[in-house]
């Protein structure tokens, strides 16, 4: 995997290497979720993770108390992912998946039965698979792990149906709707109010969520060499198209370099997420966040499709002309700006806006007395996530700022006590 750097432009390799080198000295950064910045004694900015709310729903935090099995080992890799196409020799092999044997150069719609309804009727989930005529790695695309996140569903459809099996090196497996029961109800959650993305790699004898997670991981994900998990913001929040990736992991860094012009946010995966389970099983994984829930946003869909197709090109799995220019910034820090008053939030910025320290982000107006409170950016950076205009209460996370930084100081550290990653707790609505 580390040799992947030979297949990307020199400038991109330099960026990736710098990111990886710098972050080796920063074990406590947590850009995937909400963070607050404190000032250390030596003047360095330290990140304190404030992701988990004490008053979170018990059904969601229940994952912490449930015993999950060890990650299902991935199939052994003879060569790193990045070298798989170049190193592949001979004939492509049949793809064995979900009881089917797909010959090289074919595409097929398969069915994954994760669970049953109360009536004992199996819940079948479509799986789209393309097995290329040429040997190479296997890439997995998952979407709608949260049932109300629609953009990823359309991304998977467009990518899979645009691939010519006769010209593909390797295989691409797409699960457009992982959480079918949530999707049918228009809900983020499973029918028992559990967040499926807190239960991976699952447990065959655990809760409904843990069992579904286990079958997805064992039957599909463990057969892949890399994973892209597609998400949106949640709870009426939207995200600028971005890649969430653990930049301490060199294999993951090389994967992020393949997406072209897409924002990268350093993000340690939360225990229980699909991204964390895949990475622990030796499968490099990233999360793509794009847009918001409960609606199909074509601009974000096109952005995500372009990124995934650029990745396929970079890996050598397909041969297309790369159209994207210089990469977007890599943000090692981010912070949510919260409301201090209740009322109606009206934004003065949009996703992707560049802001300076002190710039007006939005206004909260009390509809009863017309009192107004301004929300201003405490940092220079870019709006990478934000709440839609709505009624808010004190403490509501309103604007997610990717913080600009010329460099990352090696002496910056964060204590282990500032990393509540092992709790399996509730993430305050912005991410995977």
Buried b / exposed e over 383-419, threshold 16 CB at 10 Å, is bbbbbeeeebeeebbbbbbbbbbeebeeebebeeebb
Please report the domains of the chain, with CATH numbers, ordered by start residue. 20-55+333-418 (2.40.50.100), 59-314 (3.40.630.10)
pLDDT of residue 123: 78
Q: What tens digit of pLDDT does each residue of 338-391 get? A: 999 999 999 999 999 999 999 999 999 999 999 999 999 999 999 999 999 999
Does pTM surpass 0.75?
yes
pLDDT of residue 56: 33
Beta strands in 132-163 (DSSP E): 134-143
Task: Find how far residue 418's CA is from the centre of its chain.
Answer: 22
The count of C-alpha atoms lying within 13 angstroms of the C-alpha of 191, restricted to the half-sphere facing its C-beta, is 10
pLDDT of residue 417: 28
Tokens of 303: 């952005």
Which residues of the chain have a pLDDT value below 70?
Answer: 1-65, 70-89, 116-121, 321-327, 405-431
List of residues 6+ apart from 58 with CB closer than 8 A: none
pLDDT of residue 49: 31
Exposed / middle / buried, residue 204 (Cβ in 10 Å: 0-12, 13-18, 19+): exposed
**Residue 18, φ and ψ in degrees, nearest 5:** -65, -45
pLDDT of residue 101: 96
Sign of the Cα pseudo-torsion (12, 13, 14, 19, in order): positive
Residue 340 CB neighbour total at 10 angstroms:
11
Distance CA 68, CA 198 (A): 10
Q: What tens digit of pLDDT does each residue of 166-175 get? A: 999 999 999 9
Are 339 and 398 contacting, i.e. CB atoms less than 8 angstroms apart? yes
Residue 49 CB neighbour total at 10 angstroms:
21
What DSSP letter does each residue of 294-313 carry, written as one string? SS--HHHHHHHHHHHHHHHH
pLDDT of residue 432: 79
């Amino acid at each position: 995997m580390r040799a992947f750097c030979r297949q990307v432009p020199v400038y991109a390799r330099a960026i990736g290497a710098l990111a990886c080198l710098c972050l080796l000295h920063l074990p406590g950064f947590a850009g995937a979720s909400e963070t607050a910045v404190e000032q250390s004694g030596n003047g360095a900015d330290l990140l304190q993770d404030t992701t988990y709310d004490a008053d979170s729903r018990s059904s969601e935090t229940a994952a912490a108390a449930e015993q999950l099995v060890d990650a299902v080992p991935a199939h052994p890799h003879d060569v790193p992912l990045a070298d798989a196409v170049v190193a592949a020799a001979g004939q492509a092999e049949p793809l064995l998946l979900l009881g089917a044997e797909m010959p090289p150069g074919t595409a097929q719609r398969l069915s994954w039965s994760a669970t049953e309804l109360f009536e004992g009727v199996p819940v079948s989930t479509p799986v789209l698979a393309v097995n290329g005529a040429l040997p190479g790695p296997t890439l997995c695309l998952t979407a709608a792990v949260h049932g109300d996140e629609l953009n990823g569903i359309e991304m998977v459809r467009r990518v899979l149906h645009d691939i010519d099996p006769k010209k593909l090196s390797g295989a691409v497996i797409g699960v457009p709707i992982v959480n079918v029961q949530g999707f049918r109800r228009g809900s983020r959650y499973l029918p028992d109010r559990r967040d499926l993305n807190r239960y991976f790699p699952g447990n065959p004898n655990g809760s409904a969520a843990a069992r579904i997670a286990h079958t997805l991981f064992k039957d599909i994900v463990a057969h892949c060499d890399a994973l892209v998990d597609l998400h949106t913001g949640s709870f009426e929040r939207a995200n600028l198209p971005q890649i969430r990736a653990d930049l301490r992991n060199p294999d993951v860094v090389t994967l992020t370099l393949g997406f072209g012009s897409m924002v990268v946010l350093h993000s340690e995966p939360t225990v229980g997420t699909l991204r964390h389970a895949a990475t622990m099983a030796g499968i490099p994984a990233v999360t793509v966040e794009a847009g918001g829930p409960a609606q199909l946003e074509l601009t974000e869909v096109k952005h995500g499709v372009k990124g995934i197709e650029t990745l396929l090109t970079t890996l050598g799995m397909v041969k297309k002309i790369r159209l994207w220019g210089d990469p977007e910034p890599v943000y090692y820090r981010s912070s949510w700006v919260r409301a201090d008053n209740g009322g109606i939030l009206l934004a003065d910025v949009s996703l992707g806006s560049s802001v300076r320290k002190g710039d007006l982000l939005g206004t909260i107006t009390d509809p009863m007395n017309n009192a107004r409170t301004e929300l201003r950016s405490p940092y220079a950076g870019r709006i990478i996530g934000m709440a839609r205009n709505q009624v808010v209460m004190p403490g509501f996370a309103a604007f997610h700022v990717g913080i600009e930084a010329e460099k990352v100081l090696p002496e910056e550290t964060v204590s282990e006590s500032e990393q509540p990653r092992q709790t399996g707790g509730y993430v305050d609505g912005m991410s995977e």
